[in-house]
Structure 1
Amino acid sequence: MTSISKTTIDFLKALKENNNRDWFTEHKADFQKEQKRAKDFYNAILEKLKLHDDIESLKIFRIYRDVRFSLDKTPYKPHFAGNFVRATNKLRGGYYLRIRPGESFLAGGFWEPNKEDLLRIRKEFEMDASEIREIINNPTFLKYFGKLEGESLKTAPRGFDKEHPNMDLIRRKQFIVTRSFTDEEVFSPNFLEEINNSYKAMRPYFDYMSEILTTDLNGVSIID
């Protein structure tokens, strides 16, 4: 399956409007058909990714919501989503794709770095941010993603000079890139290639961040 069917989008729209167990049970066969189509599409992406990156696994997320600690008690996610995990501890970052009517997007990067990784990234930017700025200002990066996204602190993190010229980067808590798609783009014949090209465009960013997170500030490897 090398494209997303319009019927997949139509099913997800109907699920959003009828997000209850009775409707879902009645349309379980439709769900299973669209789920298989989606899984086939994600596997087609996986095969493309393997041609230019080392991918350890594909995880397709369940459609069932965990509502125990949520104010939103609707039982189903009106979307399909999957994550492609890069292999080995030398390759950091991962690829994500969500298919949801009117809200489809792909993403990659570092959503919640642990405190050690976050400090290492900040220390790198404190020392020299010229390389990351070159990457995020590259025309290809700008074409596909526009800008580096994610949450930031309102002020300088503890131990850093609030007047540092790279404080816009040092304040960051998340380091994410995203690209959104309209429904028409999602079920167009070239959607698979657009996703693959977008993931290719992430590689300079991933390669740079992987190097940071697998070395010390002197550039010496910290992994076996």
Structure 2
Amino acid sequence: MLQPSTLKFLKSLRSNNNKVWFDEHKAEYLAAKADFEGMVQQLIDGLSKQDISLQGLQVKDCVFRIYKDVRFAKDKTPYKTHLGAFFQAGGKKSNLAGYYFHLEPGGHSMAGGGIWMPAAPELKKLRQEIDYNFEAFEQLISGKEFIKHFGKVEGEALKNAPQGYQPDHPAIAYLKLKSLIVSHPFTDEACMQSSIVKEILKTFSLMQPLIQFINRAMD
């Protein structure tokens, strides 16, 4: 369960995304940060029971900084207006698939997972895994509960078939993807309910077979 003050801080930051305001409200940020990290610890505790590869993860391995790297960005505002944490074996800098929670007021919060823009060697392995085991892949993303919760697997896609695959390949829609992502939204109200950790863990559990499929390809 998250405190209303955490979402209130993020909402205010969106309208006051500058260093002067942030410094004046540093105590509110630190309270929001502690609140979010407390929730992340609960998610780690639950996830490590569902997925033993995540045992030993610490909060600092998962939580992203609120400070933006604006060196090459068109948007020069210095702070992110959301809080996020990525749960994967080896921590958030690992190249493996994992689970993600994104807290952003205005109905933009979500629990998601998968792999985002892997490097060419990893993407090649993943495409090969889908090619070789498409029946198993299709089965795990076409379950009734999976579709109800996530809809479909998404990601930026190539316009043409990747090298080595024919345009009429049965799995071509997935072989074209440069990321494999699923997500489920949460309202602001849901994020402040005592059941939110349980609901996020349920969402992560439903996507776990997909995460494991992707990570098998990385071995």
Taking structure 1 as the reference length, the TM-score comes to 0.87
Deviations 1:113-133 (CA, angstroms, capped at 9, x unpaired): 222222222233334411111
Looking at structure 2, the residues matched to 95 and 4 of structure 1 have their Cα atoms a distance apart, in angstroms, of: 19
* Structure 2: 5+ residue stretches without partners: none
Q: Which of 1, 14, 33 is 1:35 aligned to?
A: 33
Q: Counterpart of 1:66?
A: 69
1:168 aligns with 2:173: yes
Match of 2:211 among 206, 211, 214: 206
Q: Which moved more, 1:158-167 or 1:102-111?
A: 158-167
After superposition, residues 68-217 of structure 1 pair within 5 angstroms as 68-86=71-89, 92-102=96-106, 103-214=108-219
| Partner residue in 1 for 2:22 | 24
| Bigger radius of gyration | 1
State the shift of 1:83 in Å.
1.3
Cα deviation for residue 143 of structure 1 reads: 2.3
Q: How many residues align?
A: 210
Amino acid at match of 1:106: A
Uncovered stretches (5+) of structure 1, i.e. residues with no partner:
215-224
More helix by share: 2
SS in 2 for 1:50: helix
Distance 1:87 1:211 in 2: 15
- Give the superposition deviation at 1:87: 5.2
Instruction: Find the aligned partners of 1:200 and 1:114 in 2 and give their Cα distance.
Output: 26
Distance 1:143 1:194 in 2: 14
> Counterpart of 1:86 in 2: which secondary structure?
coil
- The one-letter amino acid of 1:60's match is V
Identity rate of aligned residues, in percent? 34
The one-letter code matched in structure 1 to 2:88 is V
**Corresponding position: 1:47 with 2:50:** no
> Are residue 12 (structure 1) and residue 10 (structure 2) matched?
yes
